[in-house]
Copies of this chain bind each other. A is one copy, B any other.
Amino acid sequence: MKKNLLVAQSGGPTAAINATLAGIIEAAVQAECIDTVYGAFNGIKGILEERFINLSKTINDADKLDMLSRTPAAALGSCRFKLNDIEKDDSQYKQIIEIFNKHNIGYFIYIGGNDSMDTVLKISEYCKKCSIDDIKVMGAPKTIDNDLCGIDHCPGFGSAAKYIATVFSELERESVVYDAKNVIVVEMMGRHAGWLTAAAALSQNVNGKVPYLIYLEERVFDIDRFIEDVKEKLETNTAVMVAVSEGVHDADGRFICEQGQGEVEKDVFGHSKLTGTGKILEEAIRAKIGCKVRSIELNLLQRCAAHVMSKTDIEESKNLGAFAVQYATEGVSGKMSSLVRKSSNPYEVEYTSVDISQVANHEKKVPTDWINEAGNGVNEKMLEYLKPLVQGELSSVYVDGVPQYVVLK
């Protein structure tokens, strides 16, 4: 008997999460054992509220699939919702399975990051515990933070990295326009891993000779040392580009941005909402060096920049969606579709799956030996890793001069 497939999206938006959705729809429509493809709005929250959309009907041709794969954010909406501990209260799980049965869902795919994989882990564990065998639960990865374990790199990261490298290359050209000594500080997202910030290195010395200083969360940040770094570079250069992670912290683990705003806000998963690091460094440079300085917080812009996406990233994102469907229809459950890098040059990846327990609630940090000794830059190992991920250009579909997207909600 044919079963239906349900897909939902969770966690922070990216430029590529809808490409994974498109990959899932395309593969599911072609799968013989799948009848209808449903989407749930706002992740697990929308499932509990039975807010579904028939995607087989809505995204019913190649043009719509293509436009969906080039639409930023999360077309089905997202949530930050933590399921209860199964041991303490399994009522949510009972409800989810009831809803799945009611809609004849045999395949459930959840697209998200490490918090979302917690949801996949819990539902698949509940199914196992209750010997529910006819619902296959799969994760499909995404996060611009690139901090998922069990995968070489995350869908969405390549596009965000390309955006960051592009923005740095443009700002660098700005920095040398006037003769005056100046510093441009750019703050990147990334709660506890510095992958996004490292992407600035992709543009370093591609155009001109402006020095870059790159500070990741993986190293202790010392503000006095930072000022010395900037001073030293300014001695022999007109401009300095600074890339800094929002989550840099001092030796006591205190976030630099906390110096500006007191205690930082936390979300339901206990993650700190970090912002303002760049501004604090700007003020420190102004006070202690006195040169012209600007700080720019890339903020939401870096995670939804569908106008400058990595073609490699979008293709891989689609494939990871399609592979999640394939694994599920082959009977796999409790896993996440993944990719392994076989070679960087020539770039070659192999698709696979990993146990969800390897991914859920874990974080992958930048390896210490990819950061230079001074802690203010990255080395060739990082560049070798990053370069293949930003290859090829893809952008949203422009109609009448403005991007047009698939709007589902």
* Copies of this polypeptide in the complex: 2
User: In the complex, which residue of chain B has the Cβ closest to the Cβ of A18?
Assistant: B173
- Is the beta-carbon distance between A166 and B403 smaller than 8 angstroms? yes
CB contacts under 8 Å to B, within A164-190, are 165-167, 169-171, 173-174, 176-179, 184
| A262 sits at the interface (CB 8 A) | no
- Is the beta-carbon distance between A173 and B300 smaller than 8 angstroms? no
- Is the beta-carbon distance between A393 and B402 smaller than 8 angstroms? no
Distance in Å: Cβ of A35 to nearest Cβ of chain B: 28
- Is the beta-carbon distance between B79 and A179 smaller than 8 angstroms? yes
User: Which of B170, B299, B396, B405 lies in contact with A304, CB distance below 8 A?
Assistant: B170
- Is the beta-carbon distance between A294 and B305 smaller than 8 angstroms? no
CB contacts under 8 Å to B, within A327-361, are none
User: Which of B79, B303, B387, B400 lies in contact with A391, CB distance below 8 A?
Assistant: B400
User: Which of B179, B300, B393 lies in contact with A77, CB distance below 8 A?
Assistant: B179
- Is the beta-carbon distance between A304 and B174 smaller than 8 angstroms? yes
| A71 sits at the interface (CB 8 A) | yes
For A208, what are the chain B residues with a Cβ–Cβ distance below 8 Å? 407
- Is the beta-carbon distance between A177 and B398 smaller than 8 angstroms? no
For A387, what are the chain B residues with a Cβ–Cβ distance below 8 Å? 400-401
How many residues of chain A have a CB within 8 Å of chain B?
59
- Extra 15 A-B pairs, beta carbons < 8 Å, given A73-B174, A78-B177: A73-B170, A73-B177, A77-B178, A166-B396, A169-B396, A170-B307, A174-B300, A176-B409, A202-B401, A203-B403, A206-B403, A294-B299, A296-B299, A390-B402, A393-B398
Q: List 23 A-B contacts (CB under 8 A).
A: A13-B177, A71-B173, A72-B174, A73-B174, A77-B178, A77-B179, A79-B179, A80-B178, A165-B401, A165-B402, A166-B402, A169-B405, A170-B304, A170-B305, A170-B307, A171-B301, A174-B304, A203-B402, A206-B402, A206-B404, A207-B403, A308-B395, A393-B398
Residues of A within 8 A of B (CB): 13, 42, 45, 71-74, 77-80, 162, 165-167, 169-171, 173-174, 176-179, 184, 202-203, 206-208, 294, 296-297, 299-301, 303-308, 310, 387, 390-393, 395-396, 398, 400-405, 407, 409
